[in-house]
Structure 1
Amino acid sequence: MASGRTSSSKNNLLLRHAHVARWRAGRWPATLRALLWSAAAGLLFVVLNTLMRKLSLQLDPFETQFLRYLTGLLVMLPLVFSAGLAAYRPRNVGGQFTRGAVHTLGLCLWFIAIPHITLADTTAIGFTTPIFIMFGAVLLFREPMRWERWAAAGIGFAGVLIVVAPQLTGQGGVYTLVMLASAPVFAASFLITKALTRYERAEVIVVWQSITVTLFSLPLALLNWRMPTLGEWGIALVCGLLGSVAHYCLTRSYATADISASQSVKFLDLVWATLLGWLAFGDQPNRYTLVGGVIIAASTVWIARREARRPG
Structure 2
Amino acid sequence: MGQDNVVRAIGLRLTSVALFATMNAVIKVAEAEGAGLGEILFWRQFGAALLVVSIVGTGPGFASLKTQRFGAHVLRCVIGLTAMTLTFWTLLLLPLAEATTLGFSMPIFATVLGALLLHEATGWRRWAAVLAGFVGVLIVTQPGDGHIPPLGIATGLGAAFGTACISILLRTLGKSEAGLTTVFWFSTLSLVPLSVVYAVSVKAHPPLVWVLLLAIGLLGGVAQIAMTRSLQLGDVSLVVPMDYTALLWATLFGWLVFGMLPVPSTWLGAPIIIASGLYIVWREHVRRQKETKGAISME
In structure 1, how many angstroms separate the alpha carbons of the residues matched to 2:125 and 2:10?
14
Gap regions ≥5 residues in structure 2: 293-299
1:44 deviates by 3.2
What are the Cα deviations for residues 234-278 of structure 1, in whole angstroms up to 9, with x where unaligned?
223322232123333444566678879977765553343113323
2:23 corresponds in structure 1 to 48
Kindly tell me: are residues 167 and 203 of structure 1, through their superposed partners in 2, closer, same or farther at Cα, counting changes over 3 Å?
farther
Is 2:82 the counterpart of 1:101? Answer: no
Kindly tell me: are residues 139 and 302 of structure 1, through their superposed partners in 2, closer, same or farther at Cα, counting changes over 3 Å?
closer
What are the Cα deviations for residues 3-35 of structure 1, in whole angstroms up to 9, with x where unaligned?
xxxxxxxxxxxxxxxxxxx93144x6xxx9988
1:89 deviates by 2.4
User: Residue 278 of structure 1 aligns to which amino acid in structure 2?
Assistant: W
Residue 74 of structure 1, aligned match among 34, 41, 50? 50
8 Å contact from structure 1 (residues 134, 259) kept in 2: no
Is 2:7 the counterpart of 1:24? Answer: no
Max radius of gyration: which structure?
1
Worse-superposed segment, 83-92 or 222-231: 222-231
**What is the SS of the residue equivalent to 1:269?**
helix
Residue 61 of structure 1, aligned match among 15, 37, 56? 37
User: Residue 3 of structure 2 aligns to which amino acid in structure 1?
Assistant: R
In structure 2, how many angstroms separate the alpha carbons of the residues matched to 1:130 and 1:213?
25
1:214 deviates by 1.7
Residue 218 of structure 2, aligned match among 237, 241, 249? 241
2:296 corresponds in structure 1 to none
8 Å contact from structure 1 (residues 268, 297) kept in 2: no
In structure 2, how many angstroms separate the alpha carbons of the residues matched to 1:136 and 1:256?
26
Is 2:198 the counterpart of 1:221? Answer: yes
Worse-superposed segment, 81-90 or 119-128: 119-128
Kindly tell me: are residues 265 and 299 of structure 1, through their superposed partners in 2, closer, same or farther at Cα, counting changes over 3 Å?
farther
1:100 deviates by 0.8
Residue 89 of structure 1, aligned match among 52, 66, 71? 66
Q: How many residues align?
A: 286
Gap regions ≥5 residues in structure 1: 1-21
User: Residue 47 of structure 1 aligns to which amino acid in structure 2?
Assistant: T
In structure 1, how many angstroms separate the alpha carbons of the residues matched to 2:122 and 2:50?
39
In structure 1, how many angstroms separate the alpha carbons of the residues matched to 2:168 and 2:157?
18
Residue 250 of structure 2, aligned match among 269, 273, 287? 273
Kindly tell me: are residues 251 and 136 of structure 1, through their superposed partners in 2, closer, same or farther at Cα, counting changes over 3 Å?
farther
8 Å contact from structure 2 (residues 111, 130) kept in 1: no
Give % identity: 28
Kindly tell me: are residues 244 and 154 of structure 1, through their superposed partners in 2, closer, same or farther at Cα, counting changes over 3 Å?
farther
Note the 1:131-142 alignment, pairs <5 A.
Answer: 131-142=108-119
1:215 deviates by 1.6
TM-score under structure 2 normalisation? 0.72
